[in-house]
Amino acid sequence: MKQNQNTGITKRYLLLYLICLFFSVLIFFFSIYYYSTYSIPDSIYLVSGEEQSFDFHLPVSAEITLESSVTNPPKEIIRTASNPSKTMTMVSYSDSPKKIQVNLHHPFSVISNTTGSYSMSCKLLGIFKFKEVQVHAVSRPKIIPCGIPVGIYLETNGVLIIGTGEITSINGQICEPALNLVKSGDYIQKINGNPVSDKQDVMEEINRSHGQTVLLGIIRDSEYIEIPISPVKTDRTSYKLGIWVRDNAQGIGTLTYLSVNNEFGALGHGITDIDTGILMKLREGTLYETKILSIERGISGEPGELMGVIQYKDRFQLGNIMSNSYAGIFGIINQTSHLQDYLKKNRWEDALSLNHAVETGFYQEIHTGTAFLQCELDGEIKQYSIEITDISKDKSSYKGIEFHVTDPRLLELTGGIIQGMSGSPILQDGKVIAAVTHVFVDDPSKGYGIFIENMLEQMER
């Protein structure tokens, strides 16, 4: 009896062990899967004619497919650390696509002698396909790094709802007619079928209802829906819905770069509503001249700020904002000659000349160590030394690099990174690699930056 009992206990322990082993293997597998998915970017840019090095150090194999329809086939050369002398050259095609196998566990480098796009299939442990990466061989872009403070004005596409609240009717009753009907982040597009573009339009349509139920046409999560709400009379001529709304945003930021086609990128992050944190949908926007009046230094727990005046007049317009995205704001400088005059007036001379265009650096070329932050704080564009301390494996992150300011001039002037400096370009090894996005609240000498290739990619869209 005792022997049978011991045998039963042993079997239960063995079963428990096998279950634990199974789940441990499963967790290990999925951890590798998610880490690999996170670590390998959705797109990789190569510079035509230049050797580009990569080191993912993942248990993943990759297969680069070169389509046979390409009339000028690229020559791909791949070297791995495990076999430095191993070279594969693709210069000919059969009827089917040519493929190159790469082991991402070892460092490797690639050379493409032409421009074009290829696909790279990634397989975990060489078996399970889990990701398709687009590889783009391009000519290295050149941009003009700026670092110039600008005034930003943006009008929303529709009227943004930021919340609901109680109102008091003309009879003294307290009510909240929009409660549980609309949500923060909804955009009012129409009222009773009539388009609305700002708060004034909304108020006029509500008052025109004379208390009758109105139909709000709103965009919620990219879907158009209609919601009936009954306005409440609050005085002799006014009716309200108890909705807090916003139709514009303004502030001071930094112009990151200009392209050779007078396109611009700025901020390095999108303009979000201050109350909801939601990215604001753009109807139209404008860049204006701004005059910095003072600098509030940053200290631990209290970010500093550039204090200035935005010149909201037509003659002070610098350009039109065409897009508001997670990677920044983008548009066209529509008065280049005026901008040149503006810069010369501020002793920046010929700062926007094509002679100042510099190459951009891609994700795989960025490294920890010394870099330079470019901005204008005291009437002249200057470069300040910083130290890049960490590089995110998530290439799409707006916190792609982590850095701290080492230049005593900037630390003395601002304490580090302050509000209004978002968008300041960061250069390393003579190339533009990133733009400032955020500051550490508890340490203004530290900040984050977005990879410049993310901004350029978003501008292309």
pLDDT in tens, 443-460: 999 999 999 999 998 887
Residues 262 and 354 in one domain: yes
Q: Answer yes or no: is 400 within a domain.
A: yes
Residues 410 and 262 in one domain: yes
Residues 121 and 229 in one domain: no
269 is catalytic: yes
What integer pLDDT is reported at residue 440 of this predicted model?
A: 92
Residues 74 and 106 in one domain: yes
422 is catalytic: yes
Q: Of 207, 241, 275, which marks where a domain is finished?
A: 241
Residues 207 and 62 in one domain: no
What integer pLDDT is reported at residue 91 of this predicted model?
A: 37
386-395: pLDDT as tens digits: 999 999 988 8
What integer pLDDT is reported at residue 398 of this predicted model?
A: 83
407 is catalytic: yes
Report the pLDDT averaged over residues 351-371: 83
Residues 84 and 228 in one domain: no
Q: What's the whole-number average pLDDT of the chain? A: 83
Looking at the structure of the chain, the number of domains it has is 4
Q: Answer yes or no: is 159 within a domain.
A: no
What integer pLDDT is reported at residue 71 of this predicted model?
A: 46
What's the domain range around 427? 143-151+248-460
What integer pLDDT is reported at residue 73 of this predicted model?
A: 47
Report the pLDDT averaged over residues 250-270: 91
Confidence of residue 337 (pLDDT cuts 50, 70, 90): low
**CATH number of 117's domain:** 2.60.40
Q: Answer yes or no: is 182 within a domain.
A: yes
Report the pLDDT averaged over residues 154-181: 90
Contacts (Cβ under 8 Å, ≥6 apart) of 241: 177, 178, 206, 214, 229, 231, 232
Alpha-carbon distance of 214 to 228, in angstroms, equals: 6
Q: Answer yes or no: is 172 within a domain.
A: yes
Confidence of residue 346 (pLDDT cuts 50, 70, 90): low
What integer pLDDT is reported at residue 394 of this predicted model?
A: 84
Alpha-carbon distance of 5 to 9, in angstroms, equals: 6
Q: Answer yes or no: is 121 within a domain.
A: yes
**CATH number of 402's domain:** 2.40.10.10
Residues 308 and 418 in one domain: yes
46-73: pLDDT as tens digits: 888 788 888 888 888 888 776 544 444 4
Residues 435 and 301 in one domain: yes
Q: What angle do CA 426, 287, 256 make, to 5 degrees?
A: 10
Residues 350 and 259 in one domain: yes
Residues 115 and 185 in one domain: no
What integer pLDDT is reported at residue 106 of this predicted model?
A: 79
Confidence of residue 38 (pLDDT cuts 50, 70, 90): confident
Confidence of residue 134 (pLDDT cuts 50, 70, 90): confident
Question: Is residue 410 scored above 90 in pLDDT?
Answer: yes
Q: Answer yes or no: is 156 within a domain.
A: no
Determine which one of 36, 422, 424, 445 is catalytic. 422
Count of Cβ atoms closer than 10 Å to residue 11 Cβ = 10
What integer pLDDT is reported at residue 194 of this predicted model?
A: 93
Point out the least confidently predicted range of 13-17, 87-91, 207-211: 87-91
Q: Answer yes or no: is 199 within a domain.
A: yes
Residues 226 and 314 in one domain: no
Determine which one of 269, 392, 424, 445 is catalytic. 269
Q: Of 224, 241, 258, which marks where a domain is finished?
A: 241
Q: Answer yes or no: is 410 within a domain.
A: yes
Residues 269 and 170 in one domain: no
Q: Of 210, 241, 272, which marks where a domain is finished?
A: 241
Question: Is residue 266 scored above 80 in pLDDT?
Answer: yes
Determine which one of 198, 201, 407, 443 is catalytic. 407
